Structure 1
């Protein structure tokens, strides 16, 4: 492809730069242009994000940028893009979610301690659509977050990943409060690679097999087509112990009790396929056409909480296990139709106190239920209780088409333009297995499809830039643009049994598929919002050593109005080797259409008790009654101060950042419902109110200040008979909640401030010889708050930990490479649960877990793998 003059100029600057070449700024590895390219160590990394001017070398950038090259992405041995990035960017945290509702389908990530939807995701510099999944149980920090699904992007498709660690809403719009990640697809017109990976955890589970490939082909004489695919399957893991209540049932001879009854582990992922394509074509010497997109799909299935056959409300008992919930099936009048059930009045069946470990052995149960065809209890049908499995089919598609180039004559000669349109769609079809709709009694199905969420986004962008000679050291670059964006969130009703109000409803049996009731037709619908934006961006090199940038962006939404944001940034070369940089900016994050309109019923633990909780729109009368208001955008103010030092083969950066976010959007604390609240809910038409214990809603309720320091050091040299690269990266990050109310709650504030480790560091050594290569990374995680089952009585301070990843490769031929490696090679365990009673008086192993859920490096332990790579 022909390159523009500005790009050539930027590359020439990079070629003469004294900064360490070929280094991953955060981790010190080479960028990969194509698999067969020999990387020149004297070429500094070039980034697109952070500037509207020509692509800039990261050493000359006034804002901190990490570049993770294609080779680094393939060395982690992991098949999940989130895990790959977590190992490369210390300020990025990703949790493995064992039992987290929809958060186990699309895992949220946290950059700089902020939720997943505070980081803007770009693909080839264009805004990426967000996922349809909303993380209703997001571990405090991500409660209600709706960010893009990064995991669909395969590493083999990527040329590099650019991570802008700076607020950039004035440049890119909503969601860029924490920073920006730009995933750059490969653009080679020849060659390619095939990779096969296979591995499993030291425990013998979680077996993962992945096959991926990439091929570059010419598209006429003036273009390229670069295609990539990834297909993988991953078995579930289990880090569980038997629940005491389940073991007691087994000891009492109750049949059909699982061992373990409840699984804490990673979900099963089946038929996970991603297809990515990137196309470019020179139309003339000065213009080109581009197109890229993807199709991705996967099936995910994980565990839920165990339903105790004596105490589960709405199924087995409605008074905590004191008496059995018995349904009256006495036939009604002749001709009455009740879906196959009688419509008893609940008065013809006995009240049966539960006094033994197996209620089925009690004589009053045998006489009053087992031998009475007109009385029914679920202990007859499911004697050992049940554990629902929650899953979904996740489909993600996108397409971007555009043209860009340079105007070479006329009034606008020398101006660069970029005109593009893109559409992205994410669909989540939910499933829940091994559960029931209790109100249907003995005729209930056991598997349900509760419905779908669909997120559809459309963008149109027109960007221009031009250099002007105003007697400064170099041309001042002026950029401007227009953007139009439409976002639609759609709810599709579930199958009828998943929400049906059955004949036993009036007798206290729960409505809908237990654990995840289906979306009713009344809750289905489309919700759309449109916005447009205009921006101007100026970069001025006042002297050879002093650069400043200015950005201003106006954005108008048809829902809540308009917002205007600015950014000022600069860099000063104090010496040939040392430069100082900094920025100050304002930003915003618009509430998503899903957050403003979604309603849902979920099962969660509250003070150790399994209860149903309703999430309602913030404008619902009940939400308003409890303090809800129409959502407004978050507003942020941030600044950074940093330094860059480079000398020979050594490169060092240090940056301090401070991010203040006002009116943060999150899910409220779960508010206990009073009898008056329930009466109002019934009047508003909300079903199954009797079975609901709590209500939550999205709200702008709290302010935070997040500050931290990123330190990066890299060194390369020829050592030990080969080429060596050493990298040290450190992040200190601390969040303080400066304002909140009871709607947020003290425990959530505690989680926001303490769940993530305040200190993280990585030390990487990459070594290349003629026939071998070696890659080792040491990961340090500081103290963090250990929380289990979202219950404050179990919270403790977990110890700091160190994990080690390593990979060794043997170059069989120029085309074939065999690798063996391991993540967490020394099998560092996550913080184990304290099985003594906590302040709440409940042993925190009641739910069958072994580890606190908030471990920043997961709870599955060591993972080893084999990998074969063929380059052509």
Structure 2
């Protein structure tokens, strides 16, 4: 990525904002806070002006700017996790694209069940799809909130309620609304540096915010942040790598594979927010961002004796290296014949010696190295190799709108707006090979990329009608048109080409069994590249009023039409709040919801490397809309009697809660129940080779002896005229595949408790804040009557992968120039199927089950105001260096701790921060 161009573009964008535009001045003014946290004015979940959080029928958490900034984390997802206990996000080590944009979960549901707003406008989703999402988030495509710098925000509002009838698709779990700063003057600068107790993971960032007036009644507020963070390693040596070293292979690294947080470079973001009045009854507003970063992390280690398609050869005669099956044969390292057309020039494989067959026979190695016609990858990587995977991310958006009152004093408020958001990721993978190219393979590849473009046009009205209630009846109505486009960009030729050493294909009928594509993350082929767009429009009606001084009622209805994609849907919401006394209220909501498959989920093709049990294999995601997808659908329909489809998921959501005051203590307790039918997710992996073999048998195609790999069977079926192998381009190395479908349903229940208590201590001002959550998910239908039912292991992860209990207790104390924060965090027990090694024959349906115990971490910070406008703080996140229990399966892939531990695996992190305001 060309950072200079991006930064220049950011400067141009900021200049354009200063000269032309501006957002949400009306809404922001209405959302100013008063002195009581329970009486903060909110704009999320209601279209009624000046509504406090204490008077909304649905629970809304408000996280203020001070709380957002006084954290060790710079990633907004980690910051929100400390304040909203039903919000979970964990460190992602080896998770393909999920490492680049981490999936976050609100109220036990996947990321794309949470709607993200900025200044009340729907934000675009990220281009990344979490193919390896730890079970719960497999296949999710949510928004990337990590590009929003905390310094740009006046507050975050978290609606913990279903809101599809108010905002549309995705708002099943709730809504995150990020309200940007709107000050026309002043500014702030801050810098922070820290690292882990282990001495790795050093991270630094600098950030600033400035407000400027635009004429007498306008503002431009700009925030920027830049930082980098080093990778961490919480690894142990893999057992197979240790055995290779013990057997005498001195080229194996220690550790051979690194588990830890990724390396993040050139992480920058610029957010601008502006508004300017046009006369007395209207204002023009705009906001947007330009952001980017580069993320890189390690993949799985490729063992130099048995990695399929690269090193693993046939069983051979140890004396000759020629193929041999049965007694006396030994495993081998595959040898390629570079002369291609002259069969028999080279041996089939280099025999492996020793009691465990870990050392290639030195005599054969020397012979191969001295023969220009013969080749083995131990010549390039004698100790094996570990690919380095990453991506260059760019994110940009702009919202422009005009709002006002239709005639001064009319009471009819209107808002018309346009939003454009784009998220791009260009993948790269280094220290790897395209094995089919033999010695001519590059070791660095550009496999292609994804783009997501969202466009929204909104027309909103609100009108307060006096009807004899204690307040006017607020009537809000409007329309929305949305368009989203998902694009796959082709990789460089070497990242997907079938070289001369590939398994048999139409181009190379004498193929030799070496895998094609960049190993670890195959490049996107011309057949898979392209873009897909889906559109919809919606109309809505929203009613809310104080019927009496004690009773608030709310109702909403929304109709959406997805043109030819998914039909139409109508969703509803009812809500009520009743003040039993001034200090005791009860509230409840009921709503229906929906979520349609994204354009990416409906059309994405992907090949990745993952563990199948304890074996490393190539797995794919194939859209049902393609020729290959239709082949799969035909096979599954034949095998199960049911044809797989991809349709919207639907939900029913209800809450009931109470809020009360006991002296100075404010408490809210809310129960929620979310039923989601036909959830959209990637299916469990299906056996691709077996599907092809079954097809061959059904078609009467007699396969030649030895045709036992996907590529070979595809070639033979193409030669017999039974199918077109080109329809399966990029899938030649697949062992298994998955596809997006609706194969299960869930019920998620939970209780949220929030309590605050301000008090005086030692002559200073103090406060205690408790936030706790209990969430339980039950799979109510595992899809046994579908084409791809849930496996027992995947079901177990869906139900127990997140801790049932999460909570935090925070003490803040201010005394003169000193400020002190102490926070205790509790993460309950959880289950992990390590390496996603599902196995129906094992306990819990998992070959490597990890039952994680509860964990407590403590965060501490001490701040001092050096002057009226400058301060310094030192602190420690996870101050007592708590770790989850060690992973008993660490020797399999080198991970010292669980992959998806809710408290992370990096241990303690200390930091220093300085801040100046002006």
TM-score, normalising length from structure 1?
0.92
- For 2:352, the equivalent position in structure 1 comes to 354
Q: Which residue of 2 aligns with 1:32?
A: none
Alignment partner, residue 39 of structure 1: none
Are the counterparts in 2 of residues 313 and 319 from structure 1 also a CA contact under 8 Å?
Answer: no
What CA deviation, in whole Å up to 9, does each residue of 1:10-69 have, x standing for no partner?
A: 97xx86xxxxx443x6xxxxxxxxxxxxxxxxxx21110010111411011111000000
Q: Partners of 2:314 and 2:79 in 1: how far apart?
A: 48
SS at 2:378's partner residue? helix
- Where does 1:701-740 land on structure 2 (aligned, <5 Å)? 701-740=743-782
Contact kept in structure 2, 1:463 and 1:481, CA below 8 Å: yes
> Which 10-residue stretch deviates more, 250-259 or 467-476?
250-259
Q: Give the 5 Å matches for 1:481-520.
A: 481-505=478-502, 506-520=511-525
- Shift of residue 847 of structure 1? 1.1
Q: 1:415 aligns with which of 405, 412, 417?
A: 412
Matches within 5 A, 1:599-614: 599-614=605-620
For the 8 Å contact 1:803–1:826, the answer to whether it is kept is: yes
Decide which of 261, 264, 269 is 1:274's aligned counterpart.
269
Query: Are 1:766 and 2:835 matched, yes or no?
Result: no
SS at match of 1:691: coil
CA shift digits 1:297-317 (9 cap, x unpaired): 000000100000000000001
Pairs within 5 Å for 1:712-861: 712-741=754-783, 742-791=788-837, 792-835=846-889, 844-861=890-907
1:550 — aligned with what? 555
SS of match in other structure, 2:891: coil
**Secondary structure in 1 matching 2:759:** strand
1:331-730 matches, cutoff 5 A: 342-345=340-343, 348-356=346-354, 362=361, 365-366=364-365, 368-408=367-407, 413-505=410-502, 506-558=511-563, 559-619=565-625, 620-624=629-633, 625-626=635-636, 629-673=644-688, 674=690, 675-676=693-694, 678=710, 679=713, 683-684=723-724, 685-687=727-729, 689=731, 691-730=733-772
Distance 1:515 1:427 in 2: 21
Q: Distance in 2 between matches of 1:152 and 1:260?
A: 32
For the aligned residues, what is the CA RMSD? 2.0
Aligned to 1:338: none
Summarize the alignment of residues 860-871 of structure 1 with structure 2, pairs less than 5 Å apart.
860-871=906-917
* Mapping 1:224-373, distance limit 5 Å: 224-318=219-313, 322-330=331-339, 342-345=340-343, 348-356=346-354, 362=361, 365-366=364-365, 368-373=367-372
Once the 2 structures are TM-superposed, how far is the Cα of residue 345 of structure 1 from its aligned partner? 3.5
Q: Distance in 1 between matches of 2:408 and 2:202?
A: 60
CA distance in 2, matches of 1:574, 1:50: 22
Aligned counterparts of 1:286 and 1:648: Cα–Cα separation in 2 = 44
Q: Distance in 2 between matches of 1:489 and 1:612?
A: 24
Separation (CA, whole Å) in 2 of partners of 1:149 and 1:303: 22
In the comparison of the two structures, how many residue pairs are matched? 825
Answer yes or no: is the 8 Å Cα contact 1:312–1:318 preserved in 2: no
- Alpha-carbon shift at residue 371 of structure 1 (Å): 3.1
Instruction: Describe the superposition over 1:312-334 as per-residue Cα deviations: whole angstroms up to 9, x where unpaired.
Output: 0000015598222110123xxxx
Counterpart check, 1:192 vs 2:191: no
Q: For 1:857, what is the secondary structure of its paired residue? A: coil
How many angstroms apart in 2 are the aligned matches of 1:56 and 1:363? 78
Query: Contact 1:400/1:420 (CA < 8 Å) preserved in 2?
Result: yes
Asked if the contact 1:313–1:691 (Cα under 8 Å) also holds between the matched residues in 2, the reply is no
Shift of 1:650: 2.0
- Secondary structure of the residue aligned to 1:312 is coil
Q: Which runs of 5+ in 1 are unaligned?
A: 16-20, 26-43, 331-341, 836-843
State the alpha-carbon separation in 2 of the partners of residues 452 and 350 from structure 1: 37
- Tell me the SS of whatever aligns to 2:291: strand
- Of stretches 290-299 and 314-323 in structure 1, the one that deviates more from structure 2 is 314-323
Residues of 1 paired with 2:116 and 2:746: CA distance? 22
**Aligned residue in 1 for 2:6:** none
Going from structure 1 to structure 2, the CA distance change for 1:151 and 1:611 (only over 3 Å counts) comes to same
1:408 deviates by 2.6
Long gaps (5+) in structure 2: 1-21, 316-329, 503-510, 638-642, 696-709, 838-845
Conserved 8 A contact 2:602-2:646 = yes
Contact 1:831/1:855, CA 8 A, preserved across alignment: no
- Is 2:244–2:358's contact at 8 Å kept on the other side of the alignment? no
Shift of 1:5: 9.7
Deviation by residue 1:590-635 (Cα, 9 ceiling, x = unmatched): 1000000001111000110000011100231233123663321110
What secondary structure is seen at the aligned counterpart in 1 of 2:177? Answer: strand
Q: After the TM superposition, which of the residue ranges 351-360 and 531-540 deviates more from structure 2? A: 351-360
Q: Where in structure 1 do 4 or more consecutive aligned residues deviate above 4 Å?
A: 1-11, 318-321, 357-361, 677-682
TM-score norm. by structure 2 comes to 0.87
Q: Classify the secondary structure of the residue corresponding to 1:503.
A: coil
Distance in 1, Cα, partners of 2:644 & 2:305: 40
Q: For the structure 1 residues 717 and 184, does the alpha-carbon distance in structure 2 shift closer, same or farther, using more than 3 Å as the test? A: same
